[in-house]
Amino acid sequence: MHDRVVTNLELFYDLVYVAVISQAAHHLAEDVSTRAVMEFAVVFGMIWFAWTNGSLYLEIHGRQDGRTRTFVFIQMGILVLLAAFTADAGGEGGARFAIVYAILFSVIGWLWYSVRGQDQARFRTMTGIYVLGMAISVLVALGSAALLPDARLVVWAALVGAWLVAYVIFGRIPEFEIAITPTHSLVERFGLFTIIVLGEVVIGVVDGLAHAEQDAVTILTGLLGLFVGFGFWWSYFDLVGGRLPRPAGPSTVRWMLSHLPITLAIAAAGAGMTSLIGHAHEPHVPATTAWLVAGAVAVGLIALVPTALALEDASRLPQVFRKIAWTLVLGAVAAIVPGWLHPAPWAFALLLSVILVVVWLVAVARFLQAHAWTEAEAEGEARAGA
């Protein structure tokens, strides 16, 4: 439904994911290491696909009725349990995380199965394959509970990779293009999830300031770290946020999947803020923290490229968006430099903030030169009036 709007129930549902992601980020904030980063990336991927599968169901089949509300609340209860086991998901607590995750996928899978009989005949095969994928995911998650932590992470990483491949394949099926039509409510949902992970930057800064020596240097470092979060916000919402992807299946899937590295990068940067502020008085940012935050900024900017190029606006203004894509790539390369130099924490955060501001200024200049910014605002006002 093109005129569909995001409901209060969906907003409430997304709110529970704040707790789940916060637990994953909190674990990374306490242990900034290569192992912890890998654990975080895999667990975040698991969480992201749970949110995506649940959100797509609500986008297509969600109603303001008792059945929808009941199943959403059931999922929220399961997600609360999942959040309780997320912090130690990469360790010994991973078995409990896997079992609860399997229960969550069982509920979402049942919802998809329950509407299969209502689908038109041409959609039933695709929905059946989708439900089969959900069932396999449940079995894989349950089986991983019996494995050792390292083997379990490998299985989870394979599961995330399998879902990535599955979405790419589904995007090439004509029925998918008809069933998953980009709507403003879908764009808003993905934007809201981006806001959720941007909150992790705020939480990371607050946590760092609360547990560090609260003097001028520490506060300056914290505020500059917060500005990195502002830079992420500008880059996403001014360049790609609120814009519809092209209605072609591959473009829609590319737009959707590119949000995984974007949101992963923002959440990882937020987790790194606690360590950054905690070392505010040291002459150099710890190398692991520097690479985590700088790498997150670089990944976030690079991931915006496929998002931007998948937009309808990119078809209308190809030259503008190609230039913006190159700007994002150059910004990502520049973001690696502070990670390599790892200067004093305040200088490190300042350099990343400057890079994000320059990327935003150049990109906005591209829009203004093509008079695209005014057109986009006019279209937005027209939609709001309608």
| pLDDT tens digit sequence for 247-297 | 888 899 999 999 999 999 999 999 999 999 999 999 999 999 999 999 999
- Output DSSP code: residue 70: H
> Domains of the chain: which residue ranges?
8-179, 184-385
How far is residue 302's CA from residue 50's CA, in Å, rounded to a whole number? 24
| pLDDT tens digit sequence for 312-365 | 999 888 898 999 999 999 999 999 999 999 999 999 999 999 999 999 999 988
Query: Across residues 182-197, what is the average pLDDT?
Result: 91
Query: Across residues 225-234, what is the average pLDDT?
Result: 95
Assign 119 a pLDDT band (cuts: 50, 70, 90).
low
Question: 162 is written with which tokens?
Answer: 């399998």
Q: Which residues are registered as beta bridge partners of 245?
A: 311
241 burial via Cβ count (<10 Å: 0-12, 13-18, 19+): middle
pLDDT at 384: 45
| pLDDT tens digit sequence for 32-75 | 899 999 999 999 999 999 999 988 888 877 777 888 889 999 99
Reply yes or no on whether the pLDDT at 374 is more than 60. Answer: no
Average pLDDT, the chain: 89
- DSSP H helices, the chain, are 8-30, 34-61, 66-86, 94-116, 121-144, 149-170, 174-179, 184-211, 216-239, 249-278, 287-309, 312-316, 318-341, 345-369, 372-385
Are 300 and 200 in contact, with CB atoms under 8 Å apart? no
Reply yes or no on whether the pLDDT at 373 is more than 70. Answer: no
